[in-house]
Amino acid sequence: MKTLNKPVPPGGTIGIIGGGQLGRMLALAASRLGLRTCIYNDTPDAPAFQVTDQSVAAPYDDLAALTGFAESCDAVTFEFENLPAHAIAHLASSVWVAPGAQALAITQDRLSEKTFVETLGLKTAPFFEVSSAQQARDAFAKLNGRGILKTRRFGYDGKGQAKVSSADEAAKAFESFKGAPAILEGFVDFEYEASVVAARGGDGGFAAYDPPENEHENHILRRSTVPSRLGAAKAEEAKAIARRIGEALDYVGVFAVELFVAKDGALLVNEIAPRVHNTGHWTIEACACSQFEQHIRAVAGWPLGDPARHADAVMENIIGAEVDAWESLSKGGALHLYGKKEARLGRKMGHLTRLKPLTKA
C-alpha cells in the first residue's frame, strides 16, 4: 500500500472517484487551493466533469482504467463509499488513497459498522443480524414492537429500508430484499437528529465542525441548521464521539457521524459516512475552511483548516422539480446548483444556504 511521504504541492493532482455533486464541490475546493483534479466516474455525464481538469469515464471495477487514472494522480479519494473493495485495493497499491480500506470495509456494511461502534462503548439502537425470513421473525421478537429492517450494504436516502411493526412484516420485508443480507434495528423514539462533520489528518490532527440539527422528509435530508438545540456541553460530547470513531478507524479525511438525540439527551450513533456529507454543506459559506477544502487538505497531507463558523446557517436541499424555481431561489441566499440534466423525483439538484449573525451554540 502506498503512503504519502510529503504533502501534495500546489499544481499536484487529486484523484476523485465519483462524479456527483460531492465530487464536484471537492474539485472546486481543490481548485481554490491551486490543486488540479481528475474525476473518475462510471458514466460520461457526471456533474463533476464540468469543473475538473481531467476526467475518466469507465466502470468502477475496470482495473486497467483505474491503473491509468492512478498514474495521473498524486493522491486519490472518493465521494461515495459503495465501491468494489478489490478496486480500492488495486488503486492503493500504486497511489496514496484516503480514507483507507479499513474505513471503507467497516462502513460499507451496516452490521460491521454498528458492531464497531458498539465495541467503542458508544450507544446505538439495538440491532440484530438478519439472513433469513425466520431470523427476521426471531429478531423482531427481541424488539419493543417497532423496528427498521435495512439491507446491510448499499442504500441511501431511505432506499433499502422498511419500517416493520410485526414479525410478519419483518419477514415480508426481508423477502422483498430478495435475499440480501440485512440488519434489524430497534426504532428510536428520538427528539431530533443531529450530526458531526469532522476531519482527521494523516498526522492524527482532528477538527470538528459545530453539529447541525437535521430534518428529513421522505428519508431525504431537507435542511440542516446551526446552531442546533444540543447546547455547548452536548456539542462537545458529539465531537468527542466523532474523534473516538476517527481514531479507531485510523481515518484520514472528512467523515460524518449521524446521531439520534434521545428524549433524555443521550446521543446514539445512527450511521458513519466515510466522506464529505450533505449535512456539512453549510460550511462552504459559514466557515473559513469548508468541509470540502478540509477533506482536500487532509488527503493532500496539508495542515487541517480552522473549522470555526463565523455565522449561523440554514442549509436546505433543492429536490427534484424544485430546481425549476432557480431564479427566485437565487435571491434567497447562497445558491448551489449541481449541473444535473434531469430533475427526477427525490433527486438532489442543489442546495441553498442562508446566513444569520453568529450566536453561541
| β-bridge mates for residue 225, sequence order | 213, 314
Q: Record the cell numbers describing residue 317, joined without a space.
A: 436541499
pLDDT interval class at 101 (50, 70, 90): confident
Give the whole-angstrom CA distance, residue 298 versus residue 94: 19
Give the whole-angstrom CA distance, residue 199 versus residue 257: 11
Whole-number percent of the chain with pLDDT over 90: 88
Per-residue pLDDT tens for 38-47? Answer: 999 999 999 9
Q: Span 13-20, mean pLDDT?
A: 97
* CB 211 within 8 Å of CB 235: yes
Domain ranges of the chain: 13-97, 126-186, 190-356
Q: Span 142-169, mean pLDDT?
A: 85
Give the whole-angstrom CA distance, residue 153 versus residue 173: 15
Only one residue has cell 446491510, namely 152
CATH 3.40.50.20 fits 13-97, yes or no: yes
**Amino acid 158: pLDDT:** 58
Q: How far is CA 43 from the centre of its chain?
A: 21
**Is the per-residue pLDDT at 188 higher than 70?**
yes
Is the bond preceding residue 9 a cis peptide, omega within 30 degrees? no
DSSP 42-111: SSTT-GGGGG-SEEEE--TT-HHHHHHHHHT-SEEEES-S---HHHHHHHHTTS-BSS-HHHHHHHTSHH
**Is the per-residue pLDDT at 361 higher than 80?**
no
**Amino acid 154: pLDDT:** 75
Q: Is the dihedral of CA 145, 151, 156, 160 positive or negative?
A: negative
**Amino acid 336: pLDDT:** 98
Give the whole-angstrom CA distance, residue 163 versus residue 150: 9
Largest CA distance in the chain: 59
**Is the per-residue pLDDT at 68 higher than 70?**
yes
**Is the per-residue pLDDT at 225 higher than 60?**
yes
Per-residue pLDDT tens for 308-341? Answer: 999 999 999 999 999 999 999 999 899 999 999 9
pLDDT interval class at 100 (50, 70, 90): confident
pTM: 0.95
CATH 3.30.470.20 fits 190-356, yes or no: yes
CATH no. for 126-186: 3.30.1490.20
Mean pLDDT for all residues in the chain: 95
Closest CA to 251 of 233, 276, 270: 276
Q: Span 293-302, mean pLDDT?
A: 98
pLDDT interval class at 155 (50, 70, 90): low
3-state secondary structure labels for all residues of 97-159: ECCCHHHHHHHCCHHHHHHHHHHCCCCCCCEEEECCHHHHHHHHCCCCCCEEEEECCCCCCCC
Give the whole-angstrom CA distance, residue 361 versus residue 354: 17
